[in-house]
Structure 1
Amino acid sequence: MDNLADDSISNKGVGLLPVIKDVLLQLLFALMPFVAYNIYYRKLTVNYSRNFIILICSLCMLLSMTFASSVQSGLIFDVRYVIMFFGILFGGFMTGAILLIEFLIYRLHIGGSGMIDAIIILIITFPLSVLLATLYHKSKHKFWIVFIAGISFSLIPLLVLYITKPDYILSHFIFNVLVMPVHNSLGIWLLVTLFNKSVSDKELYLQYIQNEKAEAVNHVAASLAHEVRNPLTTVLGFLQLIKSGTFPQEKTDRFLEISMEEIRRTEQILSEYLSISKPLVPFQQKLELTAQIRSVVELMTSYANMSNITLSADYPELPVYISGSPAELKQLLVNFIKNAIEASRDVDKGCVNIRIYEEAEQVAIEIQDNGIGMNPEQLSRLGSIYYSTKMSGTGLGLTFSYQAIRAMDGSVSVRSSPRSGTVFLITLPLAATDP
């Protein structure tokens, strides 16, 4: 602000409400960087940049000077010093220089009797802002730096104006010694404190994400090493027995058969890990769901028969269309049905039933078994890439399935209890009807 005034306290008789309105409007401009940061960077996995600070500060300064308060032609009231200090504090000296140039150009354009005073005040406050910003980053007592900045940017304009225009200061004395300092001090304190808190929270969030990624990589590496080591150890043992040449051909053939089976299992494990690492993107291919499920049921029926499990399905009478990838849909259905079959092996008259029905612009696929079920702790860990309820499982099948369902804008829920079976409910949006 260069020269400030308050009609409510002057002889012109303007009420107090316009003054409060102007102060609140300027505080809104002062807090715009904080609001914009929380809106723009809320979902981004990066923190603020210098370009963001330059852009938002330039906009705030332009708005505050455009809609500034004025009780005397050429004398305007705004939060330029708050924005200038904030820009230097979080954007560096280059940001401050850009804001300085913007201010000079726009203030010369506005003109008026307070233009020279404004330039004099800025000659004093700009280097002071640079100094205080430097001290802020080095000091442990940051609150006092912000406090000094607020008081300084309130007193310096008053002193300059008192020297150059004492009549103006005396005419609007109460406003200049009370409202303006409170406005500047409060504006700087709110903006710097709130923005700093948001930035710190964002840094903690980004650090948390990095730690989660590192932990996930560690889990995957440990799980992969464990899962691959077991079949390779088996293969190595049988190859050593075959090399000894002390076994009949029949046993040697059996050893080779087991070794090949273990190698195939290793290949399957690696394929599952690769499918997890490959990002899934939403597909828009239109699929007839019933036909897809029929083919999967036919494929899994022989596997169910080998396990003495009854596999059945209830299909809707009319075609049901969804959007997705045929390969991924087939894979996730195989994973759920295979798990249901394996969970029902140890119960009498094991059965798995699949039901498809529509509800509220969505289609539900219900996969129910009467198997061993799961306890609450097991339910809470389903979908983790390193967790499985099976002794020989990696948990990758369900992880891939959950990921594929989310890629199709779907959801999955599960109900289960020990020795009472499990129900997986997959919900997918229906495909848009062709015009």
Structure 2
Amino acid sequence: MILLKEVILQMFFALTPFVLFNIYYRDRMRNYSRAFILVTSSICMFLAMTFATSVSEGVIFDIRHIIVFFALVYGGVRIALVLLIESALYRYYLGGEGIWLALLALVVTFSISLLMYRRYKASYRKTLYIFLTGALFSLVALGLTYLYFPTYVSHHPAYYLFVIPVQNFVGIWLLLSLFSKCVSDKELFIRHAQNEKIETMSHVAASLAHEVRNPLTAVKGFLRLIQENPENITKTDQYIRISMDEIQRTEAILTEYLALSKPLKERTELINVCDQLYVVREVMLPFANMHNVELELQAYEKPVTILANPDEFKQVLVNFIKNAIEACEETVNGKVSLSLFIEKSNAMLIIKDNGIGMDEGQIKRLGSIYFSTKTSGTGLGLTYSYHVIHAFGGSVSVSSKPKVGTKFTITFPYHAQP
């Protein structure tokens, strides 16, 4: 029974990188890094070797070979070498009569890992190579132990012929299969979220092209008037001033649009939500006009600052406002209102529309991947937005009624300006 507990504990340690990945990268728009593999593998290896299984004094068995192989697959040769040196030093520190056997086993299994990981990466039958690697690790452990300590094997045949293979087979299968599934799901989510952003930007760009054409037409008309009557200095100055204002407004909108379309960067800073709302409103106003929807903003009188990534926050605003506008496109006198206020040390942003609304079932599924109230939508825009809001310590609440409208209340921790 004690031995069974130790084996189960080793299986738990094997899941350490998988568990930490789901905790650390849950709300991040990027996948694992080599530094993450090194840190989590080191933690996993330290725990596994500290609480290793053993039936003979000084001869211990754990999942260190599996961790090195995992680091080789996801971190590369350099990371695996670091872990190999780490495990060798720690095993030397633990001591016991099986120390030289353990060091020899590390060299042999690392050579096997180098041979197998290239085939594992290139093959579509990854499960086969996972179990084959586990089998080779078990054979190395059994063969070397029998070579140096044959009496240990003969006195405990069940342990060496059953427990160690199960520990290797189940450990390597759990770690690599679950971690691989998480990594592929994260890549899929990031790819679809980026595609959703591109689609959103293309819709906004279509409305911007229409909106930019209006001031350009006005500027063209004023230039023609100046050309026809260049002697009238007063009128010419007036026409030039109006034309400059139109050009500057167009330039500001296009600048903010280009800033929104840039790749996101990992950073957080104090941002003024009021300023962000005014900027995004200017960008989204042409989109609202194209759908015959009024876009109203009631900002707070004083600066409302939160700690967030400005690029990600703008993208969140674009996603929510775009959805609200599209919900109102079939509504007579469609209206989307944005209001901002401070309540109990929180910045509260309310996005309200009088569009088609949602029922209770739709509200509960909001933010889920691939759920959308639009026939052609994927739902990833809101999924991404929910992830960003939660990553900044915020929350989202929704109230809606079919054919009445929807109200999103987004709450962020308020950070006063220093």
Please state which band the TM-score falls in when normalised by the shorter chain. 0.5 to 0.7
Code of the residue aligned with 1:178 in structure 2: it is: F
Q: Where does structure 1 lack aligned partners over 5 or more consecutive residues?
A: 1-16, 286-312, 314-319, 326-331, 340-345, 348-353, 381-402
The match for 2:85 is 101
CA distance in 2, matches of 1:366, 1:88: 48
CA distance in 2, matches of 1:124, 1:206: 39
Maintained 8 Å contact 2:18/2:175 = yes
The match for 1:70 is 54
Code of the residue aligned with 1:42 in structure 2: it is: R
User: How far is the alpha carbon of 1:75 from its aligned partner?
Assistant: 1.2
Q: Deviations over 1:190-223 (max 9, x none)?
A: 1011111111112222223333343344444443
1:110 aligns with 2:109: no
Q: Deviations over 1:51-83 (max 9, x none)?
A: 222222222222211111223211112111111
User: How far is the alpha carbon of 1:146 from its aligned partner?
Assistant: 0.8
Provide closer, same or farther for how the CA distance between residues 131 and 263 of structure 1 changes in structure 2, counting only shifts above 3 A: same
CA distance in 2, matches of 1:430, 1:97: 44
Maintained 8 Å contact 1:356/1:364 = yes
The match for 1:324 is 304
The match for 1:154 is 138
Q: Which of 16, 21, 40 is residue 37 of structure 1 equivalent to?
A: 21
CA distance in 2, matches of 1:138, 1:425: 47
The match for 2:152 is 168
Name which of structure 1's ranges 25-34 and 360-369 shifts more when overlaid on structure 2.
360-369
Alignment of 1:118-197 (within 5 A): 118-197=102-181
1:215 aligns with 2:195: no
Q: Deviations over 1:132-160 (max 9, x none)?
A: 01111122222211110011111221122
CA distance in 2, matches of 1:157, 1:169: 11
Code of the residue aligned with 1:100 in structure 2: it is: L
Maintained 8 Å contact 1:54/1:95 = yes
Q: Deviations over 1:160-208 (max 9, x none)?
A: 2222222211211112211211111010011011111111112222223
CA distance in 1, matches of 2:415, 2:68: 52
Alignment of 1:202-351 (within 5 A): 202-237=186-221, 239-240=223-224, 243-244=227-228, 264=245, 267-272=248-253, 274=255, 277=259, 281-283=270-272, 324=304
Q: Which of 195, 199, 213 is residue 183 of structure 2 equivalent to?
A: 199
Percent identity, aligned pairs only, is 37
Code of the residue aligned with 1:128 in structure 2: it is: I
Name which of structure 1's ranges 406-415 and 161-170 shifts more when overlaid on structure 2.
406-415
Alignment of 1:354-433 (within 5 A): 374-376=355-357
CA distance in 2, matches of 1:282, 1:221: 25
CA distance in 2, matches of 1:410, 1:97: 43
The match for 1:398 is none
Maintained 8 Å contact 1:68/1:76 = yes
Provide closer, same or farther for how the CA distance between residues 77 and 260 of structure 1 changes in structure 2, counting only shifts above 3 A: same
The match for 2:369 is none
CA distance in 2, matches of 1:222, 1:102: 57
Partner of 1:70: helix, strand, or coil? Answer: strand
Provide closer, same or farther for how the CA distance between residues 224 and 149 of structure 1 changes in structure 2, counting only shifts above 3 A: same
Code of the residue aligned with 2:4 in structure 1: it is: I
Maintained 8 Å contact 1:356/1:363 = yes
Code of the residue aligned with 1:192 in structure 2: it is: L
Partner of 1:146: helix, strand, or coil? Answer: helix
Partner of 1:112: helix, strand, or coil? Answer: coil
CA distance in 2, matches of 1:256, 1:49: 59
CA distance in 2, matches of 1:26, 1:151: 17
User: How far is the alpha carbon of 1:87 from its aligned partner?
Assistant: 1.5
User: How far is the alpha carbon of 1:18 from its aligned partner?
Assistant: 0.9
CA distance in 1, matches of 2:255, 2:395: 22
CA RMSD of aligned residues (A): 4.9
CA distance in 1, matches of 2:70, 2:166: 17
Partner of 1:135: helix, strand, or coil? Answer: helix
CA distance in 1, matches of 2:210, 2:73: 51
User: How far is the alpha carbon of 1:262 from its aligned partner?
Assistant: 7.0
CA distance in 2, matches of 1:430, 1:136: 46
The match for 2:70 is 86
CA distance in 2, matches of 1:226, 1:429: 34
Maintained 8 Å contact 1:413/1:424 = yes
The match for 1:54 is 38
Provide closer, same or farther for how the CA distance between residues 283 and 94 of structure 1 changes in structure 2, counting only shifts above 3 A: same
Aligned pairs, how many? 327
Q: TM-score, normalised by structure 2?
A: 0.62
Code of the residue aligned with 1:34 in structure 2: it is: F
Maintained 8 Å contact 1:281/1:407 = no
The match for 1:390 is none
Q: TM-score, normalised by structure 1?
A: 0.60
Provide closer, same or farther for how the CA distance between residues 172 and 44 of structure 1 changes in structure 2, counting only shifts above 3 A: same
Provide closer, same or farther for how the CA distance between residues 364 and 88 of structure 1 changes in structure 2, counting only shifts above 3 A: closer
Maintained 8 Å contact 1:238/1:256 = no
CA distance in 2, matches of 1:423, 1:273: 30
Maintained 8 Å contact 2:357/2:400 = no
Maintained 8 Å contact 2:44/2:67 = yes
The match for 2:295 is none
Higher gyration radius (CA): 1
